[in-house]
Amino acid sequence: MKSENYILSIEDNTTDIALMTRIFERRIPDYAIRHISDGETAVDFIESDAFKKQSPKLILLDIKVPKLDGLEVLRQFRKHREYKTIPVVMMSSSDLNEDKEKAYLLGANSFMAKPKTFLELCETLPNLINNWII
């Protein structure tokens, strides 16, 4: 795989995946976005050599993904001390805060509710890149 700057998105909602892909294409050309749609595959990928060789610059992790939920994926990922500088932003479709504390304890760097509209998402994604990738 060609060396590239990419963002890893762990997200199962195909609409959201399509919207994010589109936003990256049009507005964030410097970064690619790669999607994984369930927790198990995400953990497999994190443990793989491919991941070691080419780590993402930022992980967007939906808290509710199938097979293994987002918090579990986060826990597994943070076991890897070597990746501690990779920021993880937890995405929640709920604005209830019950999982927020857990996420921070497990090593999330940020916790955010998914934007309600496309235009908000268009603003949010570049902001995340600017804030978390140095």
Partner 1 sequence: MSEGPSSLYPQEVSLTNCDKEPIHILGKIQSHGYLLACDPGSYKITYCSENIDQLFDKNVEEILGSQITDLLTNPTAEILKAVDSSEKMSPVQLEINGISYLLIAHINEGNLVVELEPFENPSDPFKYQDQLSEVVAKLNSVTDEQKMCDITADLIKDFFDYDRVMIYRFDENWDGVVVSEAREEHLESWLGLRYPASDIPQQARKLFLRQGVRIIADVKSEPVSIQALSGDERDNPIDLSISETRASSPVHIEYLENMNVGATLTAAIISKGNLWGLIACHHYSPKLVNYYQRQSCKFLTQVFSSQLVLSKANVLLRKVNRAAVLRSKLLEKISKDWNIHKGLTKGEATMLDITEATGAAVMLDDRIATVGKAPSEEDICGLVELLKQDKEDWIVTANLCESHKVSDSLKSYASGVLCLFLSAAKKSALIWFKPEKIETVTWAGNPEKPVAVDENQRISPRKSFDKWSVEQSGKSDPWYDYEIAAAKALKENISEIILEKYEEVKELNTLLRNAYEDLETFSYSVAHDLRAPLRGIDGFAQILKEDYFEQLDDFGKSSIATIINSSVKMNQLIDDILEFSKVSQSEIRKDNFSMAELVQETVGFLHIEQDFPNTKITIDKSMPQAYGDRKMVLQLMQNLLTNALKYTKNEQAPLIEIGHTVRDQMDYFFVKDNGIGFDQKHERRIFKLFSRLVGDEYVGSGIGLTISQRIVKKHNGEIKVISEAGKGSTFLFNLG
Residues within the interface to partner 1 (CB under 8 A):
13, 15-16, 18-19, 22, 26, 93-95, 114-119, 121
Residue 62 Cβ vs partner 1, minimum distance, rounded to whole Å = 11
Kindly tell me the burial class for residue 63, based on how many C-beta atoms sit within 10 Å of its own C-beta (0-12, 13-18, 19 or more).
Answer: buried
d(CA 56, CA 46): 10
Residue 13 Cβ vs partner 1, minimum distance, rounded to whole Å = 6
Using CA of residue 125, residue 126, residue 128, residue 134, what is the dihedral sign? positive
Q: Which is nearer to partner 1, 117 or 127 (CB)?
A: 117
Q: Which is nearer to partner 1, 97 or 131 (CB)?
A: 97
